[in-house]
């Protein structure tokens, strides 16, 4: 990392405003880092010219007036945000070459706030995966290595794997991710950075390629809690183009940051102590409890009795919604079309077989099955009922506490290829992340420490609906106490 690429967004913003460096210098250094980091396979498209154009605008504004909240800050955008004139392919062959003539609301807000785009970030195909290995562009390689002398290539997590790797490697100071069942939080934990999924409805879904619409939420990933607060303030806000967008004011989370947790009660759900989780992760959880106590919080044991049913519920609801959302990829209006077939029906089926990867097809099949005649009630309706109970669990828990602390993931980053042959083993990676998604609650991962092999482990904070501030504040309290300074040693 150069001097500039090692800085946080807050440091870049303030240093640029103080005249310590120009926006062009910042963009130039990050553009160079993108090129130097190609071995990580974190990007699907590089847009250095867009980063420079925004930087020049920022430099001009610094002289002429009219600075915006993110003037001088280059960022990366996950590939499933539609970006005007720039290929947006959601890591899939079926959208190869698709250049939207419009901009997603969230990426548009970031650009309107002055941010420049470094490029589009690699991801699991349609955000379906927990290791970035389902991408049509190939897996992202984590910048992290185990300290055992081996040279195993590790996953940065998924589905926002390119986003995670780019921040951890100092290639982008901040990025967008999306989280349907942990796709921001698990990768953030795997690479030792922070990431938050806000309350469902805070970020507009318009222009974000849909996976499971009742779960999908955009959110930021960055080096620390403050940077996440800065980005999220810009990303959120009412959008009439999204029917589930919340028409409420966006709080000033950065200004509200405080690591003093006096008067806050933090719940520790006993059902999250599950078999097979390494001792190191439970030990870090205990350490997190001690840190929050030290910050003034009161710790209470809580119960979320339906926790063990969250993953199976998710793996009915998410594929069901996906099978419906992905019906639009038919080779007619955009993306791939498989020719050489006789009928329109054959064209649909051939296009979809060629265009989708194995995991996406698997989920379309599960989703189609659980929605099909005769099985709808047994699977889909049942899952929606259990989802009600999971949401109720949280509502009852929040009568006794203000926040919930858990580990982010049940393991540290694993090696590429280790879990690809067993879909269920891969799904279990999101065991701690999925319940908050099903309940639409804000949830964040912050780095807590490293395991015996030197790999980052994350702590996970879940807040009440719309109470991102408490999540940020507890995240900050952990950040200050964890003193997490470990960085991936540069090998790329």
| Cβ 118 to other proteins shortest distance, Å | 24
| Cβ 477 to other proteins shortest distance, Å | 27
> What are residue 404's DSSP bridge partners?
267, 462
- Using CB under 8 A, which of the segments 47-55, 294-302, 309-317, 454-462 binds other proteins? 309-317
Rounded-to-integer distance, Cα 151 and Cα 441, Å: 38
Active site residue 183: yes
How large is the angle between the packed helices 358-371 and 310-325, nearest 10 degrees? Answer: 100
| Cβ 345 to other proteins shortest distance, Å | 7
Which parts of 404-443 interact with other proteins (CB under 8 A)? 423-424, 438-440
| Cβ 479 to other proteins shortest distance, Å | 28
Which parts of 358-397 interact with other proteins (CB under 8 A)? 361-362, 364-366, 368-369, 372, 378-379, 381-389, 391
35 touches 56 (CB < 8 A): no
**Token output for 485:** 């300074």
Q: Quick check: 299 binds other proteins (CB under 8 A)?
A: no
Q: Please identify which of the residues 78, 109, 111, 223 carries the catalytic annotation.
A: 78
| Residue with Cβ nearer other proteins (39 or 425) | 425
Which parts of 93-112 interact with other proteins (CB under 8 A)? 97-102
Q: Quick check: 330 binds other proteins (CB under 8 A)?
A: yes
**Token output for 418:** 């280790």
Active site residue 78: yes
Q: How many CA atoms lie within 13 A of 316 on its CB side?
A: 20
| Residue with Cβ nearer other proteins (262 or 333) | 333
Q: Quick check: 268 binds other proteins (CB under 8 A)?
A: no
| Residue with Cβ nearer other proteins (153 or 344) | 344
| Residue with Cβ nearer other proteins (415 or 423) | 423
Question: Backbone phi, then psi, for 312, in 5-degree steps?
Answer: -60, -35
| Cβ 382 to other proteins shortest distance, Å | 5
Residue 379 DSSP symbol: I
Active site residue 159: yes
394 touches 304 (CB < 8 A): yes
Q: Please identify which of the residues 183, 194, 437, 445 carries the catalytic annotation.
A: 183
| Residue with Cβ nearer other proteins (145 or 363) | 363
3, 275, 343, 399: which one contacts other proteins (CB under 8 A)? Answer: 343
3-state secondary structure of 12: helix
14, 353, 396, 480: which one contacts other proteins (CB under 8 A)? Answer: 353
Question: Which is nearest to 218 in space by CA: 228, 25, 425, 270?
Answer: 228
**Token output for 91:** 């890591």
Which parts of 234-253 interact with other proteins (CB under 8 A)? 240, 243-244, 246-247
Sign of the alpha-carbon dihedral angle for 469, 8, 202, 164: negative
3-state secondary structure of 308: helix
Q: What ranges make up the beta strands (E) of 198-336?
A: 217-222, 265-269, 298-302
| Cβ 366 to other proteins shortest distance, Å | 6
Rounded-to-integer distance, Cα 150 and Cα 249, Å: 50
Q: Please identify which of the residues 88, 104, 131, 159 carries the catalytic annotation.
A: 159
Rounded-to-integer distance, Cα 286 and Cα 278, Å: 13
- Using CB under 8 A, which of the segments 179-187, 260-268, 310-318, 480-488 binds other proteins? 310-318
3-state secondary structure of 407: strand
- Residues in contact with other proteins, total (CB under 8 A)? 72
Catalytic center residues: 78, 159, 183
């Amino acid at each position: 990392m150069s001097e500039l690429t090692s800085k946080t967004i807050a440091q870049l913003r303030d240093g640029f405003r103080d005249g310590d460096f120009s926006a062009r210098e910042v963009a130039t250094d990050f553009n160079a880092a993108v090129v130097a980091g190609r071995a990580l396979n974190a990007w699907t498209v590089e847009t250095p010219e867009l980063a420079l154009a925004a930087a020049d605008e920022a430099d001009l504004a610094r002289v002429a007036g009219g600075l915006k909240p993110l003037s001088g800050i280059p960022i990366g955008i996950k590939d499933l945000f539609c970006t005007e004139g720039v290929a947006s392919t959601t890591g899939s062959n079926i959208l190869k070459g698709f250049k939207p003539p419009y901009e997603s609301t969230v990426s548009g807000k970031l650009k309107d706030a002055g941010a420049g785009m470094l490029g589009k970030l690699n991801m699991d195909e349609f955000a379906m995966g927990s290791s970035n290995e389902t991408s049509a562009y190939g897996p992202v390689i984590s910048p992290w290595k185990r300290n055992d002398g081996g040279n195993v290539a590790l996953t940065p997590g998924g589905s926002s794997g390119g986003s995670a790797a780019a921040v951890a490697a100092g290639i982008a100071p901040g990025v967008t991710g999306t989280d349907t069942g942990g796709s921001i939080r698990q990768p953030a934990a795997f690479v030792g950075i922070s990431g938050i999924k806000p309350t469902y409805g805070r970020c507009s879904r318009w222009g974000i390629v849909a996976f499971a619409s009742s779960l999908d939420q955009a959110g930021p990933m960055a080096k620390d809690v403050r940077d996440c607060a800065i980005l999220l303030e810009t990303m959120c806000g009412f959008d009439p183009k999204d029917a589930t967008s919340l028409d409420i004011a966006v709080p000033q989370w950065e200004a509200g940051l405080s690591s003093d947790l006096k008067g806050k009660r933090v719940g520790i759900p006993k059902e999250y102590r599950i078999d097979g989780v390494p001792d190191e992760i439970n030990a870090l959880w205990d350490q997190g409890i001690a840190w929050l106590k030290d910050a003034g919080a009161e710790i209470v044991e809580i119960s979320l009795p339906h926790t063990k049913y969250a993953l199976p519920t998710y793996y009915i609801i998410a594929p069901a919604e996906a099978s419906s959302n992905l019906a639009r990829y038919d080779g007619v209006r955009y993306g791939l079309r498989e020719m050489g077939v006789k009928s329109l029906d054959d064209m649909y089926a051939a296009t979809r077989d060629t265009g989708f990867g194995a995991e996406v097809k698997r989920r379309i099949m599960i989703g189609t099955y659980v929605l099909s005649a005769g099985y709808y009630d047994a699977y889909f309706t049942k899952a929606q009922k259990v989802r009600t109970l999971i949401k109720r669990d949280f509502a009852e828990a929040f009568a006794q506490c203000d926040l919930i602390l858990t580990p982010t993931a049940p393991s540290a980053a694993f090696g590429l290829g280790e879990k690809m042959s067993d879909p269920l083993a891969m799904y279990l990676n999101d065991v701690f992340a999925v319940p908050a998604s099903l309940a639409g609650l804000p949830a964040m991962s912050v780095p807590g420490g490293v395991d015996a092999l030197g790999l980052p482990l994350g702590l996970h904070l879940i807040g009440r609906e719309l109470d991102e501030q408490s999540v940020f504040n507890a995240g900050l309290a952990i950040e200050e106490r964890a003193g997490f300074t470990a960085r991936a040693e540069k090998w790329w």
